[in-house]
Amino acid sequence: MNGHHHRRPDGIDPVARARARRRALQAIYAWQINRADERSLLAQFAHEQAHEVADLEYFEDLVRGVLRHVETLDAALAPYLDRPITEVDLIERAALRIATYELIHRPDVPFRVVISEAIAGTKRFGSEHGHTYVNGVLDKAAAALRSVEAKR
């Protein structure tokens, strides 16, 4: 791509949104370790966001969404995990929580996009086989949480 972002007809820039998801993954990963409050977490990462083209609004929605709904997200994930969420690798855990937030609260985003972005983030930051685990969990979660869409 020649440096120009191609916005879709709906105004969404997929490249900026992918960057926002990557940043959100880093922010949630950090939060899982230090439990920083929402404001300082957003401020820390928003500062970094300013240096690159990213969808700041989407980034903030993902971070706020995960922090505010973490118990419900973990409960929604639980049936598809082979271990307690607290035993899942930190990067994989962050990716799963973000993706589950999107599956439940962002019906505007197709579930295939949610899954492929979670896999991409895990491949980039996670352990060697982490993306395979994330893929398996999210395939099952999406079938349940987006059943109408998944049947199409």
* Res 5: pLDDT: 57
Buried b (16+ CB within 10 A) or exposed e, 9-47: eeeebebbbbbbbbbbbbbbbbbbeeeeeeeebbeebbe
Q: Which one has a higher pLDDT value, 78 or 42?
A: 78
* Res 1: pLDDT: 42
Model pLDDT for residues 104-120, shown as the tens digit of each residue: 999 999 999 999 999 99
Model pLDDT for residues 128-139, shown as the tens digit of each residue: 899 999 999 999
What gap in Å lies between CA 118 and CA 103, rounded to an integer?
A: 11
* Res 103: pLDDT: 98
* Res 85: pLDDT: 97
Model pLDDT for residues 19-72, shown as the tens digit of each residue: 999 999 999 999 999 998 999 988 887 776 666 667 889 999 999 999 999 999
Question: DSSP class of residue 26?
Answer: H
Superfamily designation of domain 14-147: NusB-like (1.10.940.10)
- State pTM to two decimals: 0.91
